[in-house]
Structure formats: C-alpha cells, structure tokens
Amino acid sequence: MRLTTRSRYGTRMALDIAQNGATSPVRISDIAQRQGVSVKYLEKLIRELKQAGFIRSKRGPRGGHMLAKDPGEITVGEIVRVLEGDISLVECGTDESSCPRFADCVTRNLWVQASEAMYNRLNAITLDDLLRDLDDCSDPSNRNPSLK
C-alpha cells in the first residue's frame, strides 16, 4: 500500500491554507503556484475536504478558501482518510473475501496492527504541528521536530 498524491497534495494544500489563510481566504491558483500542483487537481481535493468540514470557501473577488477548524483540530490521518478512504497495508486487513486464508492466517493480525500503527501516528500529527515544523525549518537541526 502506498499513499497516493491525493494524500500528499491534500496535506500540502491544507497546510498551505493554514499557513496563508489565517486572516483572509487563499485562492486556489495561489496554492497551486506555491505547491506546484495543477488548479484542476487541487479543486477535486478541496471539494472533498470541504464536504468533510475541514475547509470553507468564500465566493467573490476577495474569495478563496480557509480552514473551517483550528489547525490544531485537523490531523493528517483525517485528511488521508477523507482523500484515500480507510486504507490498509494489505487487502486482507479489511476485506474478508480478498483471501481464502482470512480466518486462519497467522500474519493477518500483524498487517492489521501495522495499518493501525500508521493511522495512530498520522492521527497524532495536526496541521498546527506541521506549521510549527515550518517555523523550525530555517534551522536544519530542527527539521520536522513533531515527526521525531
């Protein structure tokens, strides 16, 4: 299992909005330029994050997008779940019909626990944590302190 660009770009977009949209809405074209991602792709992602209640939008000449919640209340795990669905490291972790050995597989529980550990870690990191990491990035010895 691999996280797709949906998770990576969606997290970067949400972080960009958290960083640049604290006082006024951020235009998607500006996010696209800063992040090097097409406007069309970001529009798909922002629609899903908006439906999930993480983003709010304002129309008009001074419109754009802002977080609908405090950055400390939005986790990377939540973003990943919205954009990817409830993914597992292996199919047999969630889909009994995917493997004829589902009921008696010795290693299945290992993969389920590994998937849970991944989500537990992603759920422990908020956009606020990543914002602090951005502030610390000017000092290379402090890179990604919340990820250590």
Q: At what angle do helices 39-51 and 5-20 cross, to 10 degrees?
A: 80
- Residue pLDDT, tens place only, 21-50: 888 999 999 999 999 999 999 999 999 999
Q: Which residue has the higher pLDDT, 110 or 80?
A: 80
For 53, the 3-state DSSP assignment is: coil
Residue 97's pLDDT is what? Answer: 76
Delineate the domains of the chain, giving CATH numbers in brackets.
5-87+127-147 (1.10.10.10)
Position 5 scores a pLDDT of 94
Of residues 42 and 108, the one with the higher pLDDT is: 42
Tell me if the pTM is above 0.75.
yes
